[in-house]
Each structure stands twice: as C-alpha cells, then as structure tokens.
Amino acid sequence: MSGAGRARRTILVAHPGSELYGSDRVLLESVSGLVDDGWDVIVAIPGDGPLVTELRRRGARVELCASPVLRKSVLRPRGFLRFAATTARGIRAGSALLRRERPAAVYVNTVTIPLWIGLARLARVPVVAHVHEGEATASRLVKRVLSAPLLLAESVIANSRFSVGVLESAFPALGRRTHIVYNAVPGPETRSPARPELDGDLRVTYIGRLSPRKGVDVAIDAIAELDARGIPARLDLVGAVFPGYEWYERDLRDKVEAKRLQSRVSFRGFQPSVWDFLSTGDVVLVPSVADEPFGNTAVEGILSGRPVIASATSGLLEATDGYRTTVTVEPGDATSLADALERTIAEWDAAAPLLDDDAETARRKHSPESYRRRIAELVRAVARR
C-alpha cells in the first residue's frame, strides 16, 4: 500500500556516521525509499556532517544522538573507556528518543551499532538490521560477537551473498533469515565518454577511504612500478582518512616522496561528488587488501564508463562479476596491479566499445528505484508484525 493510502507512521533509522562514503550513500537511498512509502523517517546519527544536509533534503528528520560504534580502537584501553562512556550516554539518549517518537520499527544500518538493536527490543519495537560488513578472515569468536545482536532482529538485510556467507559462518540460522538486496548505486547524470586514444599519461583514479584495508599504498607502489617501466601514469586519490588514522595519510605522503612521485600522485581529499574525477580519469582502481562485503566504488567506476581493476577478493568479486571491462588481481600485489594497468593500455581499443554496455548493465542491476521499493517492502512486512 502506498503512503498516500494510510496515516504516516514513524520509523527510526540508526546510522553510525555522518559522512558521504559507501554505506552513507546507500543509507540515503534507503531513507528515500521509506519516505516515498509514506513513512515519517527520523535518522539518529552521533554527530553533524555532510550526510545531515542530504538526509533533510530527502525528507527525513535528523536527531544527533550519542551512539557507541564498534571499531578496532575499542580494543585499546583508552578506546575502551571512550566506548564505555559513549555507551552510557547512548543508552540514555536512545531510550529517551524511542519513548518520545514511539516508532513502528527501528532500522539499524550496519552491525557496528548493536546498542540500537538492544534498546529497540527492550522497548518492544521490531528491528530491521541492514548488514554492510563482512570479514571472512576474522576469527569465529569475533564473527559470533559481531553477529549475535542480529539474532534479536526480526529481519536482516545483507548487501551481497558474501556477507550472508559470513553471517552463516557465525550462526547458520542467520543465513536463513537474511534477504540479499544489492546496493543502490546512482550513476552520473551524464556519462562522459572515455578518451578514444590514451595519448600522454594514463589517468588512474582511486575513490574511497584512505585506509590500510583499502590498499592505497599498493596503488602508489603500482604507479612507481609503471614509472620504472617507462610508462607514465598519474594517480588521483579521492578520499580522506578516518579520524585517528592521520598517521596512515602521513605514511602515504612519505611513500610518495620517497619514490619521487610528487608529480604523479595527487591527494584530492574527500569530495561530495566523485563523477568529475571519474570522468577525467581513464581507469579506476579498487585495490583492497582486506575483505570487502561488496564494492560500491567498483560499481561507480563501471557506471562512469571506465575500466575497473579490483582485488580478487570477497564481495569485490561479486561486484565486478559479469562485466567485460573489469579485471581482478591478487590483493596486495603491486606488480600484478601494474601489469593489469599496462594491459589496459595495450587493450584500450578493444575495451572501449564495451564500456557503455557494461555501464548500462550496472545501471539496471543497481537501480535506486528498484532498491528503494525492495527496502520499503521489507520494512513494511516487519512493521505489520
């Protein structure tokens, strides 16, 4: 039933951040789907940021509400003390928000904020949990600890078969209760054609967090390898670090200086829109060295009409499957990455006619409209119960 045919009810959406990276952008599509379905959507996030403006633009109310987020820093004494203090504040603030809003359901967007699942169930509010994470290499204990709160959710959504497999390895019952909904990935308003000829430097683009897990250092090493082969290439790094990971950006800049790549590697920082960088580039790198539950940036590269070179791992294999202009390489291997970039140059004429077909396939597969309808349908089913 559409929203016009019934009284508006409230749904509380909980999210761990306020930036505009992969899971944040997927959240925007979830919120749009719920608003379109007639829900009064209130989004609880722990702090201000660019996501807030976008949420309000899409018709949601925003509540800044303390919430503990599970990160590796929790394992350190100081990080654990901060986590405990935030948990205490989160219990008070979250409980008050639930009492005030009396939502028909709570939609928890990621497993990193399990407190919201507990608070919702204590308030006897049904929960939909949306899983954007998946790390098959984690120990069974870690996977069980992270996944255990999901057993309290009425419905679980995962963004890939890989993510479902990780959940099943922790608790087989979760696999049977989880719905796969591939991420919505909006493409550019207009797609700029790739260069007909690669005259001059090869233009390489990396989009995403500057994080050790993302293999940004491997991308820099690959550019250095090409330089040693006499193949000129430039790398745009579009993204920023998590707070507390400033050391990693310093290490990256030191590496660029040590390899004399200052004219070859550019740090572009966080950008609210990536399409200008993708349209001026020739090829997109997704060089992750750790498990990825999916691979939004790989899909963005395909949607932009550019060849994509990604690590042959986890959800990236799923995100790049079925496209003729994507290549996967051994994770963490700069030589393999450089080889793939060199092959891209050699095979440019053959790949160019296939780019538009791949972009159109990705557009259909990751349509925001289809995604929104499916999310609204799953939430509506839980709220009815």
The domain total for the chain is: 2
What confidence tier does 2 reach under pLDDT thresholds 50, 70, 90?
very low
For residue 273, the 8-state DSSP code is: -
Region 223-231 average pLDDT: 97
In terms of domains, do 356 and 371 share one?
no
In terms of domains, do 208 and 111 share one?
no
Give the separation between CA 23 and CA 33, rounded to whole angstroms: 15
Please state, for a pLDDT cut of 90, what percent of the chain lies above it.
84
pLDDT digit string (tens) for 313-354? 999 999 999 999 999 999 999 999 999 999 999 999 999 899
Domain-embedded: residue 354: yes
Domain-embedded: residue 191: no
In terms of domains, do 206 and 338 share one?
yes
In terms of domains, do 175 and 307 share one?
no
Domain-embedded: residue 196: no
* Cβ atoms of 315 and 134 closer than 8 Å: yes
Mean pLDDT is highest, among 7-16, 62-71, 105-114, for 105-114
330: domain CATH number is 3.40.50.2000
In terms of domains, do 63 and 52 share one?
yes
Q: What is the mean pLDDT of the chain?
A: 93
In terms of domains, do 173 and 226 share one?
no
Give the separation between CA 373 and CA 271, rounded to whole angstroms: 28
Q: At residue 262, what are phi and psi to the nearest 5 degrees?
A: -55, -30
* Cβ atoms of 150 and 131 closer than 8 Å: yes
> Is residue 118's pLDDT more than 90?
yes
Model pLDDT, residue 134: 87
Model pLDDT, residue 77: 77
pLDDT digit string (tens) for 244-267? 889 999 999 999 999 999 999 999
> Is residue 4's pLDDT more than 70?
no
> Is residue 76's pLDDT more than 80?
no
* Cβ atoms of 339 and 222 closer than 8 Å: no
In terms of domains, do 313 and 228 share one?
yes
| Residue range of the domain that includes 226 | 202-365
Domain-embedded: residue 34: yes
In terms of domains, do 118 and 250 share one?
no
What confidence tier does 310 reach under pLDDT thresholds 50, 70, 90?
very high
pLDDT digit string (tens) for 185-217? 999 989 999 999 998 999 999 999 999 999 999
Region 42-55 average pLDDT: 96
> Is residue 385's pLDDT more than 80?
no
Inter-CA distances, 200 with 137, 282, 338, 368, Å: 41, 11, 17, 37
Region 136-159 average pLDDT: 93
Domain-embedded: residue 197: no
Please state, for a pLDDT cut of 70, what percent of the chain lies above it.
97
> Is residue 78's pLDDT more than 80?
no
Region 123-137 average pLDDT: 93
In terms of domains, do 286 and 207 share one?
yes
pLDDT digit string (tens) for 233-242? 999 999 999 8
In terms of domains, do 304 and 242 share one?
yes
- Paired with 237 in beta bridges are 206, 267
In terms of domains, do 211 and 227 share one?
yes
For residue 220, the 8-state DSSP code is: H
> Is residue 7's pLDDT more than 80?
no
What confidence tier does 75 reach under pLDDT thresholds 50, 70, 90?
low
Helical residues (DSSP H) of the chain, grouped into ranges: 22-36, 50-57, 77-101, 115-122, 140-147, 161-170, 172-177, 216-228, 246-258, 275-280, 296-303, 314-320, 334-346, 348-351, 355-365, 368-384
Model pLDDT, residue 136: 87
Domain-embedded: residue 194: no
In terms of domains, do 162 and 180 share one?
yes
Domain-embedded: residue 102: yes
Domain-embedded: residue 189: no
pTM of the model: 0.85
